[in-house]
Amino acid sequence: MNVQPDVSFINYLKGAGGDTLKKCYQCATCSVRCPLSSDEKPFPRKEMIWAGWGVKENLLADPDVFLCHNCGDCSTYCPRGAKPAETLGAIRAYAYTHYGWPAGLAKLATSAKNLPMLIGIPALLTFVFWLLSGAMGFPTKEEFATYGYTHFFGHWEFKWYAKNIFFIVLLTLPPLALALFSLYKGLTNLWKAMAAEANIASTYRPSVIQFTTQFLWPATVEIFKHNRFKECTTNTDRVRGHLPLMLAFVGLFIVTSWSLVKQDILGLIWPSLHGPLPLTDPFKILANISAIALIFGTWVLWSSRSKSESEGKTSRTFYDWFLLWMIMAVGVTGLGAQVLRWINLVEVGYITYFAHLVTVVMLFLYLPYTKLAHIAYRTTAMAFERFRESSFAKPAIEQPLKM
């Protein structure tokens, strides 16, 4: 086998948490201990070999890299302290940058030295939109008590579409659209690479319905149930943190969707629906529960990560902490802005709400390039895992053996 190592790739892995990969001496303890590794396709041993060799193309087309749940079982039992889980995490971080689009934005989200720009770009965008809205200054205590943050970007008399909603949609929708398009490009390229690496030359493709029902939906259900997470034994806190965090995002998505329907559709018919939700509203209750779950889940993962680093089990990387900082900031500023509205602290409330909008834009804008993208890449890899074993991945007629 002719191996052409990519030295720059190896150096990246070392700097992104895989600094111990060269300690690996291929004893296969990691694959034996991993509850997700199969006899036919053991990992992470083969990934450690490829990483040590610098075979970047193989790793970027390997679904097992994304099937790994980073529970840490392999690192715990590694006799050499090679920390395979950290190496796989570094490979995934590289993959999000590799598949990310546009490349400049993807690279921006890879280093702590870019943190001023990572925060500054969304902050500047939010501030510019606030200036363009003409909503200069702070409201009175009476206005704040009545309207909350629904006049943050000002108010106009056009009853069919609130000014605040117009500017919030204008601020958040383009970053979200960019993130979704980037994910689509990245996942499409990942699927093509996995199919090529697996030598899949199918003669017919599943329809959208077949792909969804047979591959995508089962993978999504399995992720929601956290079945594979529960098989890992070393770091059980990951389930305790991941599950409420995931459910919090689902809850906030439901609340946001309802808010759009209420404000942008039903509000066109009944303008009185424009305004903050009362505390007794079921969707408001769901929003508050989701916000608390978001903070709790992030805190559990934050504590677990800090403990693991202090015990020397994991390395401190910007890749791991940037997402935790962002999610915690979204939850704290969102809940904090609401509390400040309850106690009617206008100036502090408006500043906190401004920070909340900045963190939401950050979460949307950097979604495809951070650890949050793992849920999309893992789902795709799990769908591919089912696809490659199906009849769709096999030739319709087996080619005769050449004598």
Pair 74, 64: CB distance under 8 Å:
no
CA–CA dist 64, 367 (Å, integer): 22
Prediction pTM value:
0.86
Domain hosting residue 15, numbered range:
7-99
Query: pLDDT of 107-151, one tens digit each?
Result: 999 889 999 999 999 999 999 999 999 987 899 999 998 888 989
298 token code pair: 């992030």
pLDDT tens for 296-316 read 999 998 988 888 888 777 778
Q: Is the same domain home to 266 and 141?
A: yes
Specify if 394 maps to a domain.
Answer: no
Asked if 197 and 132 sit in the same domain, the reply is: yes
The DSSP call for residue 266 is I
DSSP 296-332: HHHHHHHHHHHHHHHTTSS---HHHHHHHHHHHHHHH
CB-based contacts of 68, cutoff 8 Å, min separation 6: 36, 43, 44, 85, 88
Contact present, 350 and 69 (Cβ < 8 Å): no
Tokens describing residue 146: 């009545």
Q: How far apart are CA 16 and CA 20, in angstroms?
A: 11
Q: Answer yes or no: do 224 and 294 share one domain.
A: yes
Select from 52, 78, 99 the last residue of a domain: 99
Residues 122 and 30 in one domain: no
User: How many domains are contained in the chain?
Assistant: 2
Distance CA 275, CA 360 (A): 20
Per-residue pLDDT of the chain (403 residues; tens, 9 = 90+): 566 677 888 888 877 777 788 888 888 888 888 877 777 777 888 888 888 888 899 999 999 999 887 777 888 888 888 888 888 888 999 999 999 999 999 999 988 999 999 999 999 999 999 999 998 789 999 999 888 898 999 988 887 778 888 899 999 999 999 999 999 999 999 999 999 888 887 667 888 999 999 999 999 888 887 777 766 666 666 667 888 888 999 999 998 888 878 877 787 777 777 667 778 888 889 999 999 999 999 999 898 888 888 877 777 888 888 999 999 999 999 999 999 999 999 999 999 999 999 999 999 999 999 988 988 999 999 999 999 888 888 765 554 444 4
* Distance (Å, whole) CA 237 – CA 297: 10
Domain-located, residue 342: yes
Angle between helices 163-197 and 84-99 (to 10 degrees): 110
Residue 346 lies in a domain: yes
Q: Are residues 139 and 235 in the same domain?
A: yes
Q: Which of 149, 192, 185 is nearest to 61 (CA)?
A: 192
> Does any domain span residue 395?
no
Six token digits for residue 333: 């500023």
| 227 falls within a domain | yes
Judgement on whether residues 201 and 309 belong to the same structural domain of the protein: yes
Give residue for tokens 């699927």: 191
> Domain boundary residue among 99, 116, 131?
99
Residue written as tokens 């969304």? Answer: 122
